Every structure is written in C-alpha cells, then in structure tokens.
Amino acid sequence: MSEILVLVEHVDGEVKKVTLELLTLARSLGSPAAVWAGPGITADAKARLAEYGADKIYVAGSGDVVDHVVAPKAELLAQLVADKSPAAVLVAATAEGKEVAGRLAVKTDSGVITDAVGLREGFVADQSIFGGGVNVQSRVRRGTPIVAVRPNSTAPEAAAGAGAEEEVTVSLSDGARAARIVERVKQEKGARPELTEAAIVVSGGRGVGSAENFAIIEALADSLGGAVGASRAATDAQWYPHQFQVGQTGKTVSPQLYIAAGISGAIQHRAGMQTAKNIVAINKDPEAPIFELADYGVVGDLNQVVPQLTEEINKRK
C-alpha cells in the first residue's frame, strides 16, 4: 500500500487531535506514515500515533527543525517526498500547516489543496474556497498531492498501525535557518479546549457589548465544555484577546456545534466558521445575515437568552 505522509502537530510532546484525524483519513487511502519534527518524541506519543494507524513514524529529532520557524519542516517533508515517493502528504490546515504546505508545493513542484474538509479515493478533496463562500471538489494533477485538511473534518478512529520508527537526518539549507524562534511564550491554556480543535465553540460579537459581559459567553462555553471565540468587532474593541478571533483574518474552526451570539454574520466572519456542522445564532435582529446560515436561530437579547441557556444546560448535567 502506498505511503501517505502525515505531518504531526505536537505541543509539549503531546500529539494534537488534528493529527489523529489526519491519520484516520490517511488510513482510508493508504498506509499512514507520521512525520515527527523536532526532539522530544515520547513513548506515549509513538504509541498514540501507532494506535491511530501510523505504520511508519519518521522522526527528525534535530532541534534545528523546530528552532527555525516553518521552513525546516517544508525541507524535511521535501526530503521525505524525494526519498520515499509517498502517494500524498497531509498537513493540518492551521496557519503553520498551510505555510508548510505552500512551501512544500514549491519545493516539490506539486499541486496543493488547502482548507480541505474531506478527502476521497484518488485524493479528491472537498474544499472550502473563496473565504468559505463556495465548496468544490479538487484534485491535484501535478507532482505529489499536498493536502491541508481542516481540524474537526474527520472523526478520529483508532486502527492499529505497525508504528515502525525510522530516524531521519535532514540537512537544512541556509535559507531555512534564516529566521530563528528566539522565545516561546506559553499561552495560558486554562480548562477550555483549544479553539481550532474544540468540538463546540461559543463566540461573541459586538452584541455582547463589553469585555466584562464576555463572562456570559464563557459561562455558556464552560457549561458545554466548549471553547470561546469572538468576532473581529469584539477583538478590535479589546473585549476579548485577538487569538480567539474567528474568521478570515482569525482562526478557522469547524466544530460540531458553533453558537454565534451577537454576531451579524459578515462574510469575513463566516469564512472562519461556516463549515461547522451545526450553527446556532442568537441575535436580536431577525434580519441579521447570520440567520441565513444558522441551523437554529433565536431572535432575542443575548443578555437574556445566553444565561437562560447556560442555566438550562447546567440543570441537565
């Protein structure tokens, strides 16, 4: 079976959920080979990769690979593409993953598909394009297909792979060493799931009215075990930190449930959330464009609706 390379996303030695999703996708199309960049792979991480189908685990354990922003990861993958002739390369459609994918495409003279939300036989991808306005089926016709898949597009399913480890030494170009990461500042993770990986996201917009009032959005998210997001109007007003912005110039999320409270539904916001499986909108304006997109809509004042909803959910726990 032909090998499909999956670039592993990991933090503090822990494999991120999106990688398990990519392995699950790869398993349905060939033999998954996980590619771990950087030092610090643990026995637990290896076991997890194998548990979700990795037949091979390529480990490029040099610190250089992670100390120099994204270019080394693209060079590592390009080297593996040349050496192993994989059928395809899958990366997560995160900001970093997409940059790696673009650079890898140039290096290997291959086609690249970003923001895939599904992948089928023949590497035909369901792709969300034009800021999420249109869904198309795309296929790479040149080189090795490189596909950046959105987190939460596939449910991860365990299916044991052989997990055979192979060390990889990558010789980085001077260009790849041109920019170096000088400091990493740990974000307070808190109890909430990471925004792009969360199965449930509750976002607040200008309608929330103030930074203090975001407490009701957080309370609803916590009652559901979800993450908190915000529209750009809310992050620009500094009511909520910018790293939680959802949309064209923020994060792209694709959760099972997205609740938009006090958000009008501008195209730039939709671009980051419209592939959510179920969308609930809470807005006092019945004409708000978000209702065109919503599976369920509540016309009302979020200051009343959101706390009532939270209370009801907490009661049923």
277 vs 153: CA distance, rounded Å: 9
Residue 30 or 300 having the CB closest to ligand FAD:
300
Residue 110 Cβ vs ligand FAD, minimum distance, rounded to whole Å: 29
Question: Edge-to-edge strand order for the sheet containing 3-7?
Answer: 134-139, 124-129, 112-120, 146-149, 88-92, 3-7, 31-37, 56-60, 164-167
Residue 300 Cβ vs ligand FAD, minimum distance, rounded to whole Å: 7
In the chain, beta strands by DSSP E: 3-7, 10-11, 14-15, 31-37, 56-60, 88-92, 112-120, 124-129, 134-139, 146-149, 164-167, 200-204, 227-230, 257-261, 278-283, 296-299
Residue 232 Cβ vs ligand FAD, minimum distance, rounded to whole Å: 3
Residue 25 or 305 having the CB closest to ligand FAD:
305
CA-closest candidate to residue 81, choices 50, 103, 98, 55: 103
Residue 292 Cβ vs ligand FAD, minimum distance, rounded to whole Å: 12
3 state DSSP class of 299:
strand
Residue 53 or 262 having the CB closest to ligand FAD:
262
Residue 28 or 213 having the CB closest to ligand FAD:
213
Residue 305 Cβ vs ligand FAD, minimum distance, rounded to whole Å: 7
List Cβ neighbours of 62 (8 Å cut-off, separation of 6 or more): 38, 39, 169, 170
Residue 167 or 285 having the CB closest to ligand FAD:
285
Residue 257 Cβ vs ligand FAD, minimum distance, rounded to whole Å: 18
Residue 8 or 230 having the CB closest to ligand FAD:
230
Interface contacts to ligand FAD, rule CB under 6 A = 205-207, 231-234, 245-250, 262-264, 266, 268-269, 272, 282-285, 288, 301-303
